[in-house]
Amino acid sequence: MADMSKLLIQARQAAEASYSPYSRFRVGAALLCKDGTVVTGTNVENRSFGLTNCAERSAIFSAISAGKNEFEAIAVSTPDSAAAVAPCGACRQVLSEFVKADFPVAFAGRDQSVEATLGELYPFDSLHDLKNIRSG
């Protein structure tokens, strides 16, 4: 079982490395791998906003690059927001490539934290829905 409070602390620490000169909105992520390794990521902005990369995807891409592709949980911290901010749609889509609907996701701002599953955040996952249709 993942210690989500510990992961949220690591995500908050990862947010300190954020490169966000345009939005000034730091985001950090801590991804717990099946082997117990925690891979962190932060948002990296670009003046062409379409080229910006989110913290969650930075963590996932770093983990995959390191040869890790089995994950237990993820935590996301947005210290510049009082409210908890959930992963964006692109991050939910990328997460769904590697994990099942019961995958734990925690996200926290300064004053609020939320724990959910990827299935609760992304209830209609076409990748897994298509697999079920083909096998059914």
CATH number of the domain enclosing 102: 3.40.140.10
If we measure between CA atoms, which residue out of 16, 65, 48, 56 comes closest to residue 32?
56
Over residues 44-57, the pLDDT tens digits come to 999 998 899 999 99
Residue 129 pLDDT: 59
Residue 132 pLDDT: 58
In total, how many domains does the chain have?
1
70 labelled catalytic:
no
Which entry of 56, 70, 97, 115 is annotated as an active-site residue?
A: 56
Range of the domain at 120: 4-135
- Across the strands, what pairs with 106? 75, 115
State the pLDDT confidence band at 2, using cuts at 50, 70 and 90: confident
C-alpha 43, offset from chain centre:
11
Residue 22 pLDDT: 96
Residue 125 pLDDT: 75
More confident position, 125 or 75: 75
Residue 61 pLDDT: 98
The b/e string for 41-73 (b: 16+ C-beta within 10 A; e otherwise) is bbbbbeeeeeeebbbbbbbbeebeeeebeebbb
Predicted confidence (pLDDT) at residue 131 exceeds the cutoff of 60: no
